[in-house]
Amino acid sequence: MTDFKDRQKGEEAKFAMDQDTAFKVAARRNRLLGEWAAEQMDLTPEETDAYKKAVVQADFEEAGDEDVIRKLLGDLTQAGCDIDEATVRAKVEEKMVEARRQFMSQS
């Protein structure tokens, strides 16, 4: 019986750690996306820092990536950048890979 409880506690701890890792990688990805979009919009360094934070905050609106994609696409369009939704989605995937690499190299 104690083996089962120990195993259950181990699984719960692993789940919590996996969730924490996923959150940190997503936040890092969103900062990278914000930096990329800020470059496209020719923002100043101060504006870029604020924009990266805004992109991270946008991810809390709903589950999934649609809220971030919607923000990026809307802001890029408003800034007059010629970037379509497919390009933004491709960047989301690219920056996710980069964020995972960065996170794993720090761990």
pLDDT digits (tens, 9 = 90+) for 18-52: 688 889 999 999 999 999 999 999 999 999 999 99
pLDDT digits (tens, 9 = 90+) for 81-93: 999 999 999 999 9
| DSSP3 helix / strand / coil % (the chain, rounded to 5) | 80, 0, 20
Instruction: For residue 76, give the nearest of 84, 66, 68 by alpha carbon.
Output: 84
Sign of CA dihedral 51, 69, 90, 95: positive
- Rounded CA-CA distance 43/34 in Å is 11
DSSP 47-63: HHHHHHHHHHHHTTSSS
Q: Mean pLDDT of all residues in the chain?
A: 91
pTM (predicted TM-score): 0.84
- Flag whether pLDDT at 59 surpasses 70: yes
Sign of CA dihedral 99, 100, 101, 107: positive
Annotation: CATH topology of 18-106: Major Prion Protein (1.10.790)
Gyration radius (Cα) of the chain, Å: 17
Q: Which amino acid is at 75?
A: D
How confident is the model at residue 77, as a pLDDT? 96
- Flag whether pLDDT at 1 surpasses 70: no
